């Protein structure tokens, strides 16, 4: 454990992944500075940390200049809208947080002599034509499609991060995160897992887009955090896939959720959104070799924990159809 507490800045701290990273770094003995502008994050995810001396919180938009007084050992940039609903509603903020925001945080890392890890995504592969996806696959992305604002923001984020590494010698790490699930996911963020569980808990039919033959692979959040932690402490600057290679079709997944929740509802099929990827499966050979990492939590086990979390939500939370109206961000 670090002696005098080393300080870590985590952006997107009130989000799903950011809040779990805050927990992990506090557990590892660090002083954690959380930063979030709460556009998609929720204070509820980190309110248990506010009583701790080793945690502080800044309500700040990293797309604007970022200043943190004192020393910083690590920066983890996890601020970004991450669900299709978000980035269709707030496309410009989505682009800015991974471009201007990343630039600001790289500048901060350079000024502080800190190591920075940026959260990239399997979305950099777009709708892949190579299966499973390895880190050397360049992707198949529509830059001007509705999802392009997220995909291209993250691709630019990787490019500028590598430029700071090669030009300034900055210590950088890039994690390409695949579908992740667990407690603190937003119930209504448009992603398939919370959508199915929310529909089951509300007694609604489960909505499958397309014919359900598209595949996803789901990684439990604790496994993901372990992979991120190991990558940060490694000495590898290239991108690394972190996810669970266990693949399942959306139609099969709907059946698993029906079985888990005991709902009597049926599955209804709707048209597939534009540029929705047909296949997503990480090749984690590099993470296994480099980090000695692989996912440990089986889907059945992780789903049960996640389902119990969603069951603990209030009726009001369960019935929230809109996550946020994004008033003040969305031009009428």
**What is the Cα–Cα distance from 280 to 226, expressed in whole angstroms?**
21
Radius of gyration in angstroms for the set of CA atoms belonging to the chain, rounded to a whole number? 19
150 as an active site residue: the answer is yes
Cα distances (Å, whole numbers) of residue 180 to 125, 196, 217: 16, 15, 8
Residue where the block lists tokens 């989505």: 94
Cα distances (Å, whole numbers) of residue 227 to 31, 81, 176: 20, 21, 11
The catalytically annotated residue of 30, 74, 87, 150 is 150
Q: Nearest 5°: CA angle at 16, between 12 and 20?
A: 90
Query: Which of 129, 130, 116, 128 is CA-nearest to residue 158?
Result: 116
231 contacts: CB under 8 Å, gap ≥ 6: 117, 173, 175, 240, 242, 287, 290, 291
Q: How many Cβ atoms are within 10 Å of 189's Cβ, its own excluded? A: 20
- The 3-state DSSP class for residue 275 equals coil
**What is the Cα–Cα distance from 43 to 38, expressed in whole angstroms?**
8
Cβ atoms 11, 36 nearer than 8 A: yes
Q: Which H or E run contains 20?
A: helix 16-27
Omega before 132 within 30 of 0, i.e. cis: yes
Cβ atoms 281, 215 nearer than 8 A: yes
**What is the Cα–Cα distance from 181 to 168, expressed in whole angstroms?**
35
Backbone angle region of 137, left / alpha / beta, with phi > 0 → left and psi within -120 to 50 → alpha? beta
Instruction: Answer positive or negative: Cα dihedral of 172, 178, 184, 190.
Output: positive
Active site residues: 150
């Amino acid at each position: 454990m670090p002696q005098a507490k080393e300080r870590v800045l985590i952006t997107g701290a009130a989000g799903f992944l950011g809040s779990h990273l805050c927990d992990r770094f506090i557990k590892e003995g660090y002083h954690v500075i959380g930063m979030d502008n709460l556009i998609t994050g929720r204070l509820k995810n980190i309110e248990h940390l506010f009583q701790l001396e080793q945690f502080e919180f800044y309500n700040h938009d990293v797309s604007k200049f970022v200043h943190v007084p004192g020393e910083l050992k690590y920066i983890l940039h996890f601020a970004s809208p991450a669900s299709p609903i978000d980035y269709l509603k707030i496309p410009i903020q989505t682009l800015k947080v991974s471009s201007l925001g990343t630039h600001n945080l790289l500048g901060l890392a350079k000024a502080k002599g800190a190591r920075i890890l940026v959260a990239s995504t399997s979305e950099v592969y777009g709708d892949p034509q190579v299966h499973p996806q390895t880190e050397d696959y360049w992707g198949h992305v529509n830059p001007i499609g509705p999802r392009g604002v997220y995909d291209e923001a993250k691709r630019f984020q990787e490019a500028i991060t590598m430029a700071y590494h090669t030009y300034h010698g900055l210590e950088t790490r890039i994690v390409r995160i695949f579908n992740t699930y667990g407690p603190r996911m937003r119930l209504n963020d448009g992603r398939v897992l919370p959508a199915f569980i929310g529909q089951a808990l509300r007694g609604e039919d489960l909505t499958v887009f397309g014919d359900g033959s598209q595949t996803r692979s789901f990684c439990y959040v604790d496994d993901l955090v372990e992979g991120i932690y190991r990558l940060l402490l490694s000495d590898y600057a290239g991108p690394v896939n972190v996810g669970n290679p266990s693949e399942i079709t959306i139609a099969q997944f709907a059946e698993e959720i029906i079985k888990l929740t005991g709902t009597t509802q049926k599955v209804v099929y709707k048209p597939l959104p534009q540029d929705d990827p047909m296949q997503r499966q990480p090749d984690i050979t590099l993470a296994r070799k480099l980090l000695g990492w692989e996912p440990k939590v089986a889907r059945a086990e992780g789903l049960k924990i996640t389902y119990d979390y969603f069951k603990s939500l209030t009726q009001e939370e369960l019935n929230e159809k809109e996550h946020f109206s994004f008033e003040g961000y969305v031009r009428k």
